[in-house]
């Protein structure tokens, strides 16, 4: 191995020796970013690796999001949705009146606080829906090329799923060949984005009662692009000034994400790259290796990263790596791109959203390869303090100063090899000492809704029946979807974990995606053994019988569509009402930060789910509007929003909602009996 001047520094206990020349560099490169004194890494994150790296960054005087969150407070008026800058007569600020009886403030145009809050909220939905859907469109375009045989290495990997989607699209599967079907599915999926009239094809997968409600309330989504454009139009100055009407159009745009763009992304990715099945993986910054070329793929799309997985295993590349003095090539993921390649290939995850800067601070990252979404611009200035090459790959997401190596969708393997080669070339340029926290955790992931169906029902009769029966019988109290981001305004990972552990203790099974899923992985919740450790006895019994972890990792954020599918399958299985809003279920995003999360929340609410967000809520400046979201919507849609900052209180409210639904279904009694049985059993055991 070539002497790269690196020295293993151990685990957060690294010598005080500074990286050579680094302090100076960080002074320059980070000049624009403040470097405040971060106190107490424990107060920033519950993830041990993150704590160690926060301390390390502080030692090296490198500015990270954790420090900036201390020195820059969020604007209170913007945070509560009370600032309108939709025209140049503003920005107008309409915070709630402080004194009793004071007239409510309005904008220059007369816009009320509720209109302004609703418009701001709606624009978040529009942006979030656009982000997921543009990802979906990219997948559909590549899918179509692949179906036509125009992309070497890409084609139909999961024929079963292709047939299923073709059936869902109403195609004549018996009289069409696989290639013909794939091309047709690709064309139809692409057409969904620009559909001017009618209904999105996947929206017709929802329970019939939900579809009827959407039609009645004019919420049924048409083409994805159309809904987003109309929402942007209606939030323009002087257009839609009825907060309820705005919220309804926001629902159409959000539904066109959940039952449209996101679902298209998930389904077509599964056909092209394989539907996930349970697979082992590992997670946290400890997956980085000092003596290998480390590459992190970060962002959201699997289109290029699928081929980076192949390129990183190419003997030619391994040979090149050895020539440069490395022992091999170590590929890891970050954010949702990580979830995609973890679920399909078992590629380890380096960390979730708030760990992206810290991965570079390890000093061993040879390339940070990003596609789209959730990429912090600060990575560039941190990369400049080290040897790390920050590589952008999407024409939609460039970062000033980063190296751009554009993804050629006609030849992904070639792009992938060039990127891997660039990382290898960079390996000998490492300077200073390595600092890799030793923390990693094992996990079992890959619970597509098809897999859950199969695991529960067995080979002979795949079905959700056992799940429904366990819910009806009370062993499982209900279902929670806990998803979403990390947010530097709250302790990293903590709210996810406190909430989820409380749900498990109360026999609520948890479905998870995104950065929440990664928080669970790091805390050891994604292994079957977690059932005995964290669950109430009912849920523990069910998980142990099937060998399931009590928290099911269902994928990336576009894969929240899998949760919609699973909820629909449970409804269709029977015995738990005839709409998603009848289910003893609830959703949460305790540490959300992105506009995509608001779109996800809104499509869950419009699909009938009680959905709670934590950390902050973007409409609280208008009491009237917030009450409409939290209470008014339940009557109209059967689902509603809520905001609870304290994760234990959040769990309590979700469980109360689940119990309310159990009562309405007449299955609350069954649960009381189970509890009684458990108490008796414990008595017997202790006797
Ligand atoms: Fe981004 Fe999807 Fe949020 Fe994580 S969970 S911070 S959106 S990576 Ni989607
Ligand atoms: Fe102010 Fe109305 Fe313009 Fe908004 S649209 S900035 S409230 S004048």
In the structure, what pLDDT confidence band is assigned to residue 542 with cuts at 50, 70 and 90?
very high
The string of pLDDT tens digits covering residues 642-678 is 999 999 999 999 999 999 999 999 999 877 666 556 5
Q: Of 628, 620, 622, 623, whose CA–CA distance to 645 is shortest?
A: 620
C-beta of 594 in contact with ligand 1 (< 6 A):
yes
- Specify the ligand 2 atom closest to the Cα of 237: 5
Across 281-290, average pLDDT: 98
- Confidence check: pLDDT of 641 > 60: yes
In the structure, what pLDDT confidence band is assigned to residue 22 with cuts at 50, 70 and 90?
very low
Lookup result for tokens 């990997």: 157
The string of pLDDT tens digits covering residues 435-485 is 999 999 999 999 998 888 888 766 566 789 999 999 999 999 999 999 999
- How many CB atoms sit inside 10 A of residue 245's CB? 13
Q: What pLDDT shows up at residue 432?
A: 83
DSSP string for 289-317 = -TTSEEEEEEES-HHHHHHHHHHHH-HHH
Q: Does residue 37 contact residue 327 with C-beta atoms inside 8 Å?
A: no
C-beta of 128 in contact with ligand 1 (< 6 A):
no
To test the pocket of ligand 2, the residue of 106, 111, 122, 239 to mutate (highest count of ligand atoms within 8 Å of its CB) is 111
| Region of 274 on the Ramachandran plot (φ > 0 left; ψ -120 to 50 alpha; else beta) | left
Strand partners, 351: 334
C-beta of 432 in contact with ligand 1 (< 6 A):
no
To test the pocket of ligand 2, the residue of 84, 88, 119, 621 to mutate (highest count of ligand atoms within 8 Å of its CB) is 84
Give kind and range of the element (H or E) at residue 655: helix 647-665
Q: What pLDDT shows up at residue 682?
A: 58
Q: What pLDDT shows up at residue 671?
A: 78
Q: Both ends of the chain: CA-CA distance in Å?
A: 63
177 Cβ neighbours under 8 A, 6+ residues apart: none
The string of pLDDT tens digits covering residues 189-243 is 999 999 999 999 999 999 999 999 999 999 999 999 999 999 999 999 999 999 9
CA distance 368 to 337: 12
C-beta of 596 in contact with ligand 1 (< 6 A):
yes
In the structure, what pLDDT confidence band is assigned to residue 30 with cuts at 50, 70 and 90?
very low
In the chain, what percentage of residues exceed pLDDT 90? 87
Q: What pLDDT shows up at residue 454?
A: 82
Strand partners, 329: 293
Across 23-41, average pLDDT: 48
Kindly give the distance from the C-alpha atom of residue 334 to the centroid of ligand 1, in angstroms, as a whole number.
10
Ligand nearest to the CA of 371: 1
CA–CA distances in Å: residue 394 to residues 131, 312, 659: 13, 20, 46
Lookup result for tokens 């970013």: 33
CA distance 182 to 201: 16
Nearest CA to ligand 2 atom 7: 107
Q: Of 492, 493, 464, whose CA–CA distance to 479 is shortest?
A: 464
The string of pLDDT tens digits covering residues 575-608 is 999 999 999 999 999 999 999 999 999 999 999 9
Kindly give the distance from the C-alpha atom of residue 89 to the centroid of ligand 2, in angstroms, as a whole number.
6
CA–CA distances in Å: residue 360 to residues 12, 62, 341, 435, 486: 15, 11, 20, 10, 18
- Confidence check: pLDDT of 24 > 50: no
CA distance 230 to 239: 11
- Specify the ligand 1 atom closest to the Cα of 483: 5
Q: Of 414, 268, 407, 398, whose CA–CA distance to 340 is shortest?
A: 268
The string of pLDDT tens digits covering residues 345-400 is 999 999 999 999 999 999 999 999 999 999 999 999 999 999 999 999 999 999 99
Q: Does residue 4 contact residue 46 with C-beta atoms inside 8 Å?
A: no
Rounded to 5 degrees, φ, ψ at 612 are: -110, 130
Residues with CB under 6 A from ligand 2: 84-87, 89-92, 107-109, 111, 116, 237
The string of pLDDT tens digits covering residues 496-513 is 999 999 999 999 999 999
Give kind and range of the element (H or E) at residue 334: strand 329-334
CA distance 441 to 346: 13
For 104, the token pair is 């409510």
In the structure, what pLDDT confidence band is assigned to residue 50 with cuts at 50, 70 and 90?
very high
DSSP at 331: E
Nearest CA to ligand 1 atom 3: 485
Q: Does residue 485 contact residue 515 with C-beta atoms inside 8 Å?
A: yes
Kindly give the distance from the C-alpha atom of residue 131 to the centroid of ligand 1, in angstroms, as a whole number.
11
Residue 392 CB-density burial (10 A; 0-12 exposed, 13-18 middle, 19+ buried) = buried
The string of pLDDT tens digits covering residues 146-180 is 999 999 999 999 999 999 999 999 999 999 999 99
CA distance 146 to 307: 13
């Amino acid at each position: 191995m070539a002497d790269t001047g690196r020295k293993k520094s151990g685990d957060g206990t690294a010598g005080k020796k500074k990286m050579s020349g680094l302090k100076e560099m960080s002074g320059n490169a980070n000049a624009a970013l403040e470097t405040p004194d971060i106190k107490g890494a424990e107060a920033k994150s519950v993830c041990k690796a993150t704590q160690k790296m926060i301390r390390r960054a502080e030692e090296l005087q490198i500015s990270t999001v954790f420090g900036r969150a201390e020195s820059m407070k969020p604007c209170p008026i913007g945070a509560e949705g009370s600032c309108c800058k939709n025209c140049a007569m503003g920005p107008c600020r309409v915070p709630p009146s402080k004194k009793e009886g004071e007239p409510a403030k309005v904008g220059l145009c007369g816009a009320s606080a509720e209109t302004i809050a609703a418009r701001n909220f709606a624009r978040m939905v529009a942006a979030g829906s656009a982000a997921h859907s543009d990802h979906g469109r990219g997948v559909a375009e590549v899918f179509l090329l692949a179906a036509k045989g125009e992309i070497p290495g890409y084609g139909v990997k999961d024929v079963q799923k292709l047939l299923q989607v073709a059936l869902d699209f109403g195609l004549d599967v018996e009289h069409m060949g696989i290639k013909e079907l794939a091309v047709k599915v690709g064309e139809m999926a692409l057409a969904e984005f620009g559909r001017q009239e009618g209904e999105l094809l996947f929206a017709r997968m929802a329970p019939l009662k939900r579809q009827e409600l959407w039609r009645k309330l004019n919420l049924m989504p048409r083409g994805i692009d159309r809904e987003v454009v109309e929402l942007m139009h209606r939030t323009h100055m002087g257009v839609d000034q009825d907060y309820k009407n705005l919220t309804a159009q926001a629902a159409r745009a959000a539904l066109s994400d959940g039952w449209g763009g996101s679902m298209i992304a998930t389904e077509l990715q599964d056909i092209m790259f394989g539907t996930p099945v349970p697979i082992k993986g590992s997670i946290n910054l400890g997956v980085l290796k000092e003596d290998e070329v480390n590459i992190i793929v970060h962002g959201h799309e699997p289109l290029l990263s699928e081929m980076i997985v192949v390129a990183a295993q190419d003997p030619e590349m391994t040979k090149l790596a050895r020539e440069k003095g490395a022992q091999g090539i170590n590929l890891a993921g970050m954010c949702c791109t990580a979830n995609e390649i973890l679920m399909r290939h078992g590629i380890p995850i380096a960390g979730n959203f708030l760990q992206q800067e810290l991965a570079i601070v390890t000093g061993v990252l040879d390339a940070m390869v990003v596609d789209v979404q959730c990429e912090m611009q600060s990575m560039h200035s941190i990369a400049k303090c080290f040897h790390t090459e920050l590589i952008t790959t999407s024409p939609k997401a460039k970062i000033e100063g980063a190296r751009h190596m554009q993804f050629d969708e006609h030849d992904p393997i070639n792009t992938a090899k060039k990127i891997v080669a660039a990382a290898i070339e960079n390996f000998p340029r490492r300077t200073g000492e390595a600092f890799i926290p030793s923390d990693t955790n094992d996990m079992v992931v890959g619970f597509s809704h098809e897999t859950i169906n199969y695991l529960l029902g067995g080979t002979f009769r795949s079905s959700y029946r056992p799940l429904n029966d366990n819910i009806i019988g009370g062993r499982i109290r209900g279902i929670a979807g806990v998803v979403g981001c990390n947010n530097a305004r709250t302790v990293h990972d903590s709210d996810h974990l406190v909430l989820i552990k409380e749900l498990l203790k109360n026999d609520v099974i948890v479905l998870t995606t995104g950065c929440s899923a990664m928080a669970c992985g790091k805390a050891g919740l994604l292994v079957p053994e977690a059932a005995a450790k964290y669950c109430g006895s009912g849920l523990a019994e069910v998980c142990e019988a099937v060998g399931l972890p009590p928290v099911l990792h269902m994928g990336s954020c576009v894969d929240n569509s899998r949760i919609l599918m699973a909820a629909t399958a449970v409804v269709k299985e029977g015995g738990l009402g005839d709409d998603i809003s009848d289910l003893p279920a609830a959703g949460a995003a305790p540490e959300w930060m992105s506009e995509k999360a608001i779109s996800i929340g809104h499509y869950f609410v419009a699909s009938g789910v009680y959905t709670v967000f934590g950390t902050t809520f973007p409409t609280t400046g208008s009491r009237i509007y917030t009450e409409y979201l939290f209470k008014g919507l339940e009557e109209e849609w059967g689902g509603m929003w809520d905001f609870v900052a304290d994760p234990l209180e959040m769990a309590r409210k979700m469980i109360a909602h689940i119990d309310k639904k159990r009562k309405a279904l007449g299955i609350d009694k069954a649960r009381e009996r189970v509890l009684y049985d458990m108490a008796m059993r414990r008595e017997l055991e202790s006797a």
